[in-house]
Structure formats: structure tokens, C-alpha cells
Structure 1
Amino acid sequence: MLMFINEIYLIMIFIMGVLVFSMKRKHLLCTLLSLEFIVLSLFYLIFIYLMNFNFEFSFLMLFLVFSVCEGALGLSILVSMVRTHGNDFFNSFNLLRC
């Protein structure tokens, strides 16, 4: 019963992360933080799933590697955007200008 309650909380956390991702898309930093929030909730949900069915945790290491690569790519895009345009607003730069 306790694991079922934890899974419900994790699904609610995931849904809150998706809502923040869809509503707060003015700044790139807010969207990156909400993506990391979603990744962490998915990581914990996969961990509980694998623990319940006695599977190996090698998939979690692969998942963590991809999430770290995603975070590093997002931070590099954020740094390059701040260097070229001065801020992280999506509305402040023109996509057609390159």
C-alpha cells in the first residue's frame, strides 16, 4: 500500500513538472529546471518499478548517463544564448537571424 501511495505522488510530481514546463516557457533556465524535475521524477519512478519486480539496476545507469548529457547540452545552449543575446528570454532574439 505504501508503494502505491509513493507512485501516486511521483505521478503527481511528474504532472506538475510537465505543467511548469508548458506554462513557464519565457526563460530558458526555467524550462531546463522543469525538465530536470521531470527527469528526476522519472528516475525515481523507474527505480521503484525495478525494485518491485526484482530487475537489475543497469538500466538506471544508462538513464542517468542520458539525463546528464541532456543537462550538459541544455546548459551549453543556455551559456551560448546568454553570450550572444545577453539574456535567456525566448522573445528577445529572432529565430530568423541565426
Structure 2
Amino acid sequence: MSYSGMFRLASLRNPITLFISNELFIDAVSQRNFGLRYYDAFSKQKDVLDNLDVEHESIEKQAKCELTKNERIFVKSMKFALGQLSFDKFSISVSTINEK
């Protein structure tokens, strides 16, 4: 069985969104769930075949966290790159973020 076949089986048994062709795509929530499961499996040296009890709670907690300085700059950079923010406003925003 190829690796892509194993990933498909894993995605059917556990609700992690995987799209596999020549590339692998995992959405953000699924990537976090995968990370939690991977850590649990590695730390306990056992297979994780079902959802973890802490998955939902952990994802909600992380979603409510304040963005880091670098994350806030990234958001402003994306808005600037997409034409949603002028260069002047982008510069002021980044300067303000860096001052904090």
C-alpha cells in the first residue's frame, strides 16, 4: 500500500481533512489535531486510533489566543499584498506593532 493510501485510511478513521494527489494539503484545524495525535502517539509509544479527549478543547483555546507580534505583521502583510491596505497604512501598522 502506498503512503497516500495509508493517509486515506487514516482520514477515514479519524476526521482529519487530507487531500492527496501529487501534493498534500491539510487544513489548519486538521493539522492541529494531527499534531496533538502525533505527540500523543509518540510520547506514549502507541497507536492513536480515535479522537483524543483534549482535541476540541485545545483547538478552541488556541483559537481564542491573541495573535503574536509576527502573526499580526503577517496579517497586515497579507492585506497589503492583496491590495486591501495602502503602503502608508501598512507602514504605520507595522511600526505600531513593532513599538509594542
Q: What is the TM-score with the length of structure 1 in the denominator?
A: 0.31
Name which structure has the greater RCO, CA cutoff 8 Å, separation 6+.
Answer: 1
Point out the structure with the larger helix share.
Answer: 1
Over alpha carbons, which structure has the higher Rg?
2
